[in-house]
Amino acid sequence: MFRTMVESDLDRVLTCLSEPSVDTTTRERFVDFLRDGSYRHEWTWLALEGDTLAGLAVWWGFPDGERPLALDRLWAAVPDPVPLWAELIRKVPPPAEYHIFTQPERRHDPAITIRLAAAAEAGLTTVTERPRYEWTSASPLPARSERLTFTPADDEAFVDIFEQISVGSLDVATREGVARVGARAHAVEDVAGYRSMPGPRERWRLAHDKTGALVGCALPSANAGGPVVGYLGVVPAQRGHGYSDDLLAEITHLLAEDGAATIRADTDSTNTPMAAAFERLGYHQFALRVVAS
Ligand SMILES: CC(C)(COP(=O)(O)OP(=O)(O)OC[C@H]1O[C@@H](n2cnc3c(N)ncnc32)[C@H](O)[C@@H]1OP(=O)(O)O)[C@@H](O)C(=O)NCCC(=O)NCCS
C-alpha cells in the first residue's frame, strides 16, 4: 500500500533516515525541513507491506510552494528496490527531479546507479551532471566590470529578460521547461522560483553596455545552505564577448558585500561557456550534483 506520511509515522521514518545514504536527507535535515515547510507529511510517501515499512520517498519543495519539486531521499527494505522506488516516485506527477549530491569519483557508486535506474523506470530518464563550484573569501574578489552598468528592476523586466535568455540556452532544465510550457510561462515560473529563495530580491540586477543596450541579468541569491550565485545570463545577440565574467564578478561582489565567505553555484556539464567563466573567476569545483529529470 502506498500512502503519504501521518504524524504517527515520524519515529519509524526517522529511524530509516538515520541509516547512511548517498541521498541528501538526514534525520536532522528532515526534522528541520519539516518545521520550515520544505518537507511535508503530504510530500513524504511510504510503501507498506501490511504494517511494515518497505519503502520511503522524501520530496522537497519551496516552503511557500504548492507542490514538491525534487526527490531528496529513497529508502527501502526489500531485496530489489527498483520497482518499489519507481512506484513511489510515480506518486508525484511531473515536473519532478531527483538530485544526488556526490563527488566526481563516486559518480558510478552502485547505490547511485540503482537509484537512477528507479528514477528512469518512473520516467526521469534524462540524467544531467552538474559540476558544483565554490568561491571562498580566501580567493581574491574578481575585477568588477568597467564595461557594464548594473541596475535593479521590477519582476516584469526580469521575466522579459529570462524569456530572451532562454533562447539558445545550454541549460537542461531551461530547455525542458521551455519545451513543457513555452518560453514566457517558463520565465514566469523561474522568476517566481528565484523569488521563493531566501536571497535578498533587492540585489537582482539588469546589465546594460555603454550604449545603453541590454546585455543580461545577474541574480545573487541564497538557499538553505548559504549564499549562491543564483542566476545569470546574456541575451543571444550579446553572447561571445565574455560578459558572463562581468555578471559573475558583480554577483560575487554583491554577495561578498553582504558578508558571504563562501559562494556556491552549479552548472550543467554541457554548459561549457558557463563552466569556463566559473574557472576564470576563481571558483573551484568541489562536488558533483547528478540530476534525473
Ligand atoms: C552561459 C552564458 C551566460 C555565456 O554567455 P557569454 O558570456 O556570452 O559566453 P562567452 O562570451 O564566454 O562565450 C564563449 C564561447 O561560447 C559561445 N557561447 C556562449 N553561449 C552560448 C550558447 N548559449 N550556445 C552556444 N554557444 C555559446 C560563444 O559564442 C563563444 O564562442 P567562441 O569562443 O567561438 O566565440 C550564455 O550562454 C547564456 O546566457 N546562457 C543561458 C543562461 C545560462 O545558461 N546561464 C547559466 C546558468 S548556470
Q: What lines the ligand 1 site, CB under 6 Å?
A: 165, 168-171, 232-234, 239-244, 267, 271, 273-274
Give 277 Cα–ligand 1 centroid separation in angstroms: 9
Stated as kind and residue range, the H or E segment containing 247 is helix 243-257
Residue 224 has what pLDDT? 87
Cell 560575487 locates to 252
Tell me the C-alpha distance between 126 and 120, whole Å: 8
Which residue has 558572463 as its cell numbers? 244
Is residue 123 predicted with pLDDT exceeding 90? Answer: yes
**Residue found by looking up cell 535506474 in the block:** 117
Looking at residue 49, what is its pLDDT? Answer: 97
pLDDT > 70: what percent of the chain? 100
In tens, the pLDDT along 11-43 reads 999 999 999 999 999 999 999 999 999 999 999
Strand partners, 66: none
In 3D space, the residue among 204, 110, 134, 104 whose CA is nearest the CA of residue 162 turns out to be 204
Sort 24 into a burial class: Cβ within 10 Å, 0-12 / 13-18 / 19+: middle
Q: How high is the pLDDT of residue 147? A: 98
Tens of pLDDT, residue by residue over 176-223, are 999 999 999 999 999 999 999 999 999 999 999 999 999 999 999 999
- The DSSP bridge pattern shows strands 149-151 and 70-76 to be unpaired
User: Percent of the chain scored above 90 by pLDDT?
Assistant: 99
Ligand 1 pocket test, pick from 234, 289, 291 with the greatest ligand atom count within 8 Å of Cβ, gives 234
Structural domains in the chain, CATH included, are 2-125 (3.40.630), 149-153+198-292 (3.40.630.30)
Joined together, the cell numbers standing for residue 274 give 558557463
Confidence (pLDDT) at 182: 98
Answer yes or no: is pLDDT of 131 > 90: yes
Task: Calculate the average pLDDT of the chain.
Answer: 97
The pick from 170, 190, 241, 267 for probing ligand 1's pocket by mutation, whose C-beta has the most ligand atoms within 8 angstroms, reads 170
Task: Write the CB contacts of 178 (distance below 8 Å, at least 6 apart in sequence).
Answer: 166, 169, 186
Please list, in sequence order, all residues whose beta carbon lies within 8 angstroms of the beta carbon of residue 4, skipping any fewer than 6 positions away.
Answer: 41, 42, 43, 44, 45, 46
E strands in 108-202: 127-136, 149-151
Alpha helices in 182-223 (DSSP H): 183-196
| Average pLDDT score over residue span 147-168 | 98
Quick one: pLDDT at residue 106?
Answer: 97
Under 8 Å between Cβ of 290 and 130: yes
Q: Report the separation in Å between the CA atom of 274 and the middle of ligand 1, taken as the mean of its atom positions.
A: 7
- Residue 27 pLDDT: 98
